[in-house]
Amino acid sequence: MSHFVNLSLNGISSGMIYASVALGLVLVWRATRIINFAQGSMAMFSTYMAVTLLDRNLGYWEAFAVALAVGLALGAVVERTLIRPLQGKPELNPVIVTFGLFILLEGVAGAIFGVRSRGVPAAFSQSGLTIGHHRVSFSHFDLFVLGSVLALMVLMLVLFRATDVGLRMRASAFAPEMSRLVGVRVGRVLTLGWALASLAGSLAGLLVAPRSAFSPNYMDLILVYAFTAAVVGGLESPVGALVGGLLTGLVLSFVGGYLGSSLEPLGAAVILILVLSARPEGLFSRPAARQV
Amino acid sequence: MADFRDGRPDPAYGLVVEEVTVNFGGLTALDSVSLAVEPNRIVGVIGPNGAGKTTLFNVICGFVQADRGRISYRGQPMRGHRPHDLARLGIARTLQGVGLWPGLTVLENVMAGAESSVRVDAGSALLGLRRSSRVEGDLAHEATALLQRLHIAEHAGRYPGVLPYGIQKRVSLARALMAQPSLILLDEPASGLSIAEMDDLRELLRELSRDMAVLLVEHHMDLVMSTCDHLVVLNFGRVVAAGSPEVVRSNPEVTRAYLGEEVRPGA
């Protein structure tokens, strides 16, 4: 029983990280109808910034804030310089560009920081908490993961639902031409969307780094799981990203715990196949209305 | 051929389009087109498919840049303007398709029409301060009143995708009116409407012209002839006729270009 509880708690913690990256994928998809294959490597790059600053004895939270700011700026720059010129071009172009950026960032990071994996300090202890007389594999750091991703989700939800910035973002995503006509500067809104997506990815990068073999490709598998989470959630819905992330985290934790960690990627593929067979639009997207 | 009834238009005119030419590669979509839309008037632009009507709207809105010519609104030149500048100038437009936001409810779609005139800062909204909820409340109230005026208030909470086309057209019109424009450009507002809905639209256009200028692109000749104060006829990107509906109706070139030639028995 305790094994099951521990696997569940692990799954929730990992699932929140997948949810954070999935949120980034969803924001970009909603804004520009592009799957950002560079989402993980952009997060890796901003995390390397934080690690470099930590190595130079900057405080943890200062480095954390700088990494988020770098993530935000990187998203904006990528949209403005690489994605904007692709407007109106064939749909394959953004796939090639984001995939190229993924390879480029990992290559550049390897050239600058080296390819050997290393450890990264965590904000809080990673030792399991003791509840009653039982020690569970859920640490203060896992609580921090849970709290920070939930806080990000709530902030995004408020931004989308309760501010005119959010309304502009939703409007620009659905009908850019009409949005322009009512006075929305769609280009700026798209830049903001990419920046926020990159911020969510950076947060995930910072949260994954202390519990992984940190190297330029440490986000690759996370991106695959986050993509699974985003598709399961419906690609359109931030809430879907959260639920998809948690579902993916839990299932992969059980697969890893009961069947072996080498089967986890296979588990992600099985989740995708099952959910898409039962509900092709994902769990949280409305099926398109059919005109009759 | 220009469409200025009394020589060069007064700069205080609403919209003035002067000698505008638009080329798409080797194709001239608009060829020295001129027209003026005065306040409180309904001006119709008619012509066969491919005549350049939508291109004319697109160049006025800034989606397409003119190769030659000038456009001004209320005496202010619109040089290199962009679509997002229109709302600030007091110009609204509906699209040929309805162009509603599928992920927003009807009420939210209409509220978004006031985008250019309302700003709720993120800080207020995040903290739940009164200012943001008041603005939101005012907008919702105003949008509901518009939906009532267009007899579609019962659909406020529904998503556009599930509504009949005629209702969607009215939602799109309500959204354009939400910006309280002084000039509204309507691109085929009657397409897909029933006869009863067309009568409502006719009434509404007359009502709108009390508060604003209307520039209308439309294929339904009955509607155009019965509501417009002035007509401009385009064919192959050129103005082939302009004047009152009566004048245009009796113009033989219009009959040839748009209404078809009379076929004499035995001819």
User: How does pLDDT run across B101-110, given as a tens digit for each residue?
Assistant: 887 899 988 9
- Nearest chain B residue to A286, by CA: B103
CB contact under 8 Å between B115 and A184, yes or no, is yes
Residue A164's closest chain B neighbor by CA? Answer: B120
pLDDT digits (tens, 9 = 90+) for B187-196: 998 888 888 8
Distance from CA of A26 to the nearest CA of B (A): 15
Cβ atoms A228, A268 nearer than 8 A: yes
CB contact under 8 A, B115 and A180: no
Domain borders along chain B are 1-90+181-267, 101-180
- Which residues of chain A neighbour B99 with C-beta distances below 8 Å? 175, 177-178
Closest residue of B to A172, CA-based?
A: B101
Query: Considering only alpha carbons, which residue of chain A is nearest residue B163?
Result: A291
Measured between alpha carbons, how far is A16 from A29 in angstroms, rounded to an integer?
19
Asked if A182 and B175 come within 8 Å (Cβ–Cβ), the reply is yes
Nearest to A185 among B84, B86, B112 (CB): B84
CB-based contact B161 A178, cutoff 8 Å: no
Question: Which residues on chain B are in Cβ contact (under 8 Å) with A288?
Answer: 161
**What six digits make up the tokens of B24?**
């798409």
Segment among A78-87, B159-168, B189-198 with least mean pLDDT? B189-198
Which three-class secondary structure state does DSSP give residue A16? Answer: helix
3-state SS of B92-145 is EEECCCCCCCCCCCHHHHHHHHHHHHCCCCHHHHHHCCHHHHHHHHHHHHHHHH
**What was the ipTM of the complex prediction?**
0.72
CATH number for the domain formed by residue range(s) A2-114+133-278: 1.10.3470
pLDDT (mean) for A168-179: 81
Q: What is the mean pLDDT of chain A?
A: 90
- The mean pLDDT of A157-173, rounded to a whole number, is 79
- Topology of the domain comprising B1-90+181-267: Rossmann fold (3.40.50)
Taking the CA of residue A15 and the nearest CA in chain B, the distance in Å comes to: 26
Question: Does A182 contact B120 at a Cβ distance shorter than 8 Å?
Answer: no
Q: Which of B225, B125, B220, B101 is nearest to A161 (CA)?
A: B125
* Confidence band, pLDDT 50/70/90 cuts, at residue B2: very low
- Name every chain A residue with its beta carbon within 8 A of the beta carbon of B113: 182
Alpha-carbon distance A62 to A53, whole Å? 9
Among A97, A85, A81, which residue's Cα sits nearest to residue A38? Answer: A97
Percent of chain B with pLDDT over 90: 48
- Residues on chain B touching A162 (C-beta within 8 angstroms): 125-126, 128, 132, 136
- Is a pLDDT exceeding 60 seen at residue A288? no
Which residues from A are below 8 Å from B83, CB to CB?
A: 177, 180-181
Contact pairs from chain A to chain B, CB under 8 Å: 92
Residue B123 C-alpha, separation from nearest chain A C-alpha, in angstroms? 9
Tens-digit pLDDT profile for residues A92-108: 999 999 999 999 999 99
> What's the confidence (pLDDT) of residue A132?
80
> How far apart, in whole angstroms, are the C-alpha atoms of residue A224 and residue A148?
22
Decide if B87 and A177 are in contact by the 8 Å CB cutoff.
Answer: no
Q: CB neighbours of A9 closer than 8 A, spacing ≥ 6?
A: A136, A137, A138, A142
Residue B231 corresponds to which amino acid?
A: L
Under an 8 A CB cutoff, do A289 and B179 touch? Answer: no
List the single residue in A159, A171, A180 with the smallest CB-CB distance to B83: A180
Domain range list for chain A: 2-114+133-278
The residue of chain B nearest to residue A188, with distances taken between CA atoms, is B84
Return the percentage of chain A with pLDDT > 70, whole number: 97
Q: Tell me: pLDDT of B126 over 80.
A: no
